[in-house]
Structure 1
Amino acid sequence: MGLTSNTALASAVSFALVLFVGTVWLWPRLARRGWRAVSGRVGLLLATQLAIFVSVGLAANQAFGFYATWADLFGQEDGQGVVVDHTAGGGSGGPLQVVETRRVREKGSARPEVGGQIQKVDIVGRTTRIATPAYVYLPPEYFQPQYRTRTFPAAVVLTGYPGTAQALVDKLHYPRTALELAKDGRAQPMILVMMRPTVAPPRDTECVDIPDGPQTESFFAEDLPEAVLAHYRVGTKPGSWGIIGDSTGGYCALKLALHHPEVYAAGAGLSAYYNAPVDPTTGDLFHGNKSLKDRANLFWYLKHMPAPDTSLLVTTSRIGESNYRDTLRFIEQVKAKTPTRISSIVLDSGGHNFNTWRREIPGTLQWISGRLTDR
């Protein structure tokens, strides 16, 4: 049973209910003073509490997409990471491989020219040798004969940490929202490349080029666009690419747009923070390199580096988000830096969670659509 499967959750809940009923049923028999009776009571209570804890944890993981598999949960995932044994061309099949396709809506049309298509892909960085899975949303227009020579704008969409790329599809509904906005004429058809910023799990690399470690920033700034351009009809001129993310992904999106405006014409950070943390999940990101550490601080970067020609969007909530004050400070700092442009979504209330981001995603997709070109 998979970690995110309904079967696993139903089994855990059923087991917890059985233990609860069993505890109530057996409690009179264990109401003695002997060590066996006391041990029985303690054992039943611990088992019931543990079963309830597991059930709540599985339900929370399903709702928020923290971990994708049991191996991911226990830090044993080794199917992805930095590839050290690979040909320069990314292998015989190229740097991007489509491994699975699905429709955008389960009850929608199976024809991609009507409802679009979601492709699960494996991507290998040509220069960084980083390998990671992703989901690519292709709009219906991509498959329609009248658009067969047209290129499309693309937006990279990143999860938080640890996050799962599938949650961007199933929980945050990016493809469905993009499809509906385009049908209503509120956004142009776009290609979405949905993935985790965690490309060397279980380590949280914060989209940093780590000395003697994963070159994560270079992967997102160079290898990823190159791989997507080699496989899909994406615009090649400046202005065709944007990037969106929530939490850790939001920090990455803002940083990549600031550091690489020649690649990303727009970056949106939903509930983002503005400096890379160093904690047990990241390890030593900078290895004592002060310039690298300063560069990862977006406040420092705006103050000391030339203003990049890019557009930024930040989101927060007056009540419920810990980044509220930092976001206001960031907005004021960007406003003083021409030609960098800044926009914001500020909710009255909303926590650091999927429900808040679902409220912000339609406006974010409309915003980024208006700042990208299809050429």
Structure 2
Amino acid sequence: MGLTSNKVLALAVVLAVLLFVGTIWLWPRLARRSWKAITGRVGLLLATQIAIFASVGLAANQAFGFYATWADLFGQETAPGLVVDHDPAKGAGPVRVVDTQTVNVPGGSRPTTGGQIQKIEVSGQTSRIASPAYVYLPPEYFQPQYKDRKFPAAVALTGYPGTAEALIKGLHYPQTAHRLSAEGKMQPMIVIMMRPTVAPPRDTECVDIPDGPQTETFFAKDLPAAISDHYRVGVKAQNWGVIGDSTGGYCALKLAVHHPGAYGAGAGLSAYYKAPIDVTTGDLFHGDKELERRADLMWYLDHMPAPKTSLLVTSSKKGEDNYRDTLKFIDKVKAPTRVSSITLESGGHNFNTWRREIPATLQWMSGRLSGD
């Protein structure tokens, strides 16, 4: 049974309840001063607490999508992504659809009504990185009257470690996009949902690491080219946006700032503005000071030409660590860059806060992109 399985969570909860009841039931029998009784009391208390913590941890992981598998949790997922070259003559390409699922909306069983979510494998032609993703296709994509229409696309990125599934189950990107489009508040849009961790378990911070994973190249060049080749999406910056939370938010802003010719808009929800260096990232820059400075978005806005792109940043006056930095970032933006913001009175660095910001973010993104 997988780490995110409901059966695993149910089993942990049942075990915790049984141990709690058993502790109460057996406590009078263990109320002696013998070493056996003391060992029994200690053992029951420890087992009960471990079971309770495991239940809470599994529930939190399902809600927030920190880890996808047991191997991911225990740091055993170390193999880098590999690219398999496909023969174009056989109809293969950089995108391979491996599964489809319905969207959890009324009428979701019919693609023409609810749209569809496709699980894909993306192979980077330049970066040599392969990564899974989920693609939400709106209902219009399947309707005959739109068969020749191209749609704008937004890449949605999780934080670190995160799972792509959390963007569907926890942050509800497909459901929100479907509802807003049905209400006429945004245009139909394709959403590509991914984790920025394309070389797990390493947190590459969307950096082209010297002699390492070329993550920025994957997201800036390979991903838009692969999706445009497979789906009805244009190849211009005005056709593409990128949204992310936390680490994904930093990546989203950096991709829009560094690559305005690829992304016409970037939205960072609870983003930070400089790539951290810690045990999860390792040495990202290998002594390359220019690469390190470019990864600092504050430095970039001060020293590099202002990119022609649109940016959205979010924070909360209470509960977020990035509030002051976000104000500084906004103050540094110069034309032709456009910047917008969402500021909540209070909100933490969590899914509940981002769910409050995603509807307005999608509407903002829709207003800055086009399918043509």
Question: Same fold judged by TM-score > 0.5?
Answer: yes
Comparing 69-78 with 9-18, greater Cα deviation is found at 69-78
Is residue 190 of structure 1 aligned with residue 160 of structure 2? no
Alignment of 1:322-361 (within 5 A): 322-334=321-333, 337-361=334-358
CA contact (8 A) 2:265 2:368 kept: yes
Amino acid at match of 1:38: I
Amino acid at match of 2:256: A
Partner of 1:147: 146
Comparing 98-107 with 348-357, greater Cα deviation is found at 98-107
Instruction: Indicate how the Cα distance of structure 1 residues 91 and 301 shifts in structure 2: closer, same or farther if over 3 A, else same.
Output: farther
Amino acid at match of 2:164: A
In structure 2, C-alpha distance between the alignment counterparts of 1:197 and 1:312, rounded to whole Å: 19
Partner of 2:177: 178
Partner of 1:35: 35
Instruction: Indicate how the Cα distance of structure 1 residues 209 and 147 shifts in structure 2: closer, same or farther if over 3 A, else same.
Output: same
Partner of 2:370: 373
How much does 1:145 deviate?
Answer: 1.0
Runs of 4+ in 1 over 4 A off after TM superposition: 84-92
SS of alignment partner, residue 12 of structure 2: helix
Instruction: Indicate how the Cα distance of structure 1 residues 89 and 223 shifts in structure 2: closer, same or farther if over 3 A, else same.
Output: farther
Partner of 2:51: 51
Instruction: Indicate how the Cα distance of structure 1 residues 85 and 100 shifts in structure 2: closer, same or farther if over 3 A, else same.
Output: closer
Q: Deviations over 1:81-137 (max 9, x none)?
A: 332664697997211111111111265242211111110111111111111110001
Partner of 1:258: 257
TM-score normalized with structure 2 length: 0.97
Partner of 2:361: 364
CA contact (8 A) 1:90 1:126 kept: no
SS of alignment partner, residue 342 of structure 1: strand
CA contact (8 A) 1:90 1:124 kept: no
How much does 1:25 deviate?
Answer: 1.4
In structure 1, C-alpha distance between the alignment counterparts of 2:39 and 2:110, rounded to whole Å: 61
In structure 1, C-alpha distance between the alignment counterparts of 2:25 and 2:129, rounded to whole Å: 55
Amino acid at match of 1:331: I
SS of alignment partner, residue 162 of structure 1: coil
Comparing 123-132 with 313-322, greater Cα deviation is found at 123-132
SS of alignment partner, residue 187 of structure 1: coil
- Structure 2 stretches lacking a partner, 5+ long: none
Partner of 1:64: 64
In structure 2, C-alpha distance between the alignment counterparts of 1:124 and 1:84, rounded to whole Å: 6
Question: Alignment RMSD, CA only?
Answer: 1.6
In structure 2, C-alpha distance between the alignment counterparts of 1:146 and 1:84, rounded to whole Å: 36
CA contact (8 A) 2:127 2:213 kept: yes
In structure 2, C-alpha distance between the alignment counterparts of 1:342 and 1:171, rounded to whole Å: 27
Amino acid at match of 2:33: R
How many equivalent pairs are there? 372
Q: Deviations over 1:41-71 (max 9, x none)?
A: 1111111111111011011111111111111
Partner of 2:23: 23
How much does 1:33 deviate?
Answer: 1.9
TM-score normalized with structure 1 length: 0.96
Amino acid at match of 1:144: Q
In structure 2, C-alpha distance between the alignment counterparts of 1:94 and 1:3, rounded to whole Å: 32
- Structure 1 stretches lacking a partner, 5+ long: none
Alignment of 1:95-106 (within 5 A): 95-105=94-104
Partner of 1:13: 13
CA contact (8 A) 1:267 1:312 kept: yes
How much does 1:285 deviate?
Answer: 0.6
Comparing 69-78 with 182-191, greater Cα deviation is found at 69-78
In structure 2, C-alpha distance between the alignment counterparts of 1:327 and 1:133, rounded to whole Å: 31
CA contact (8 A) 2:106 2:114 kept: no
Comparing 320-329 with 2-11, greater Cα deviation is found at 2-11
In structure 1, C-alpha distance between the alignment counterparts of 2:125 and 2:28, rounded to whole Å: 67
Q: Deviations over 1:140-199 (max 9, x none)?
A: 111111111111110000000011101111111111111111111111111100000000
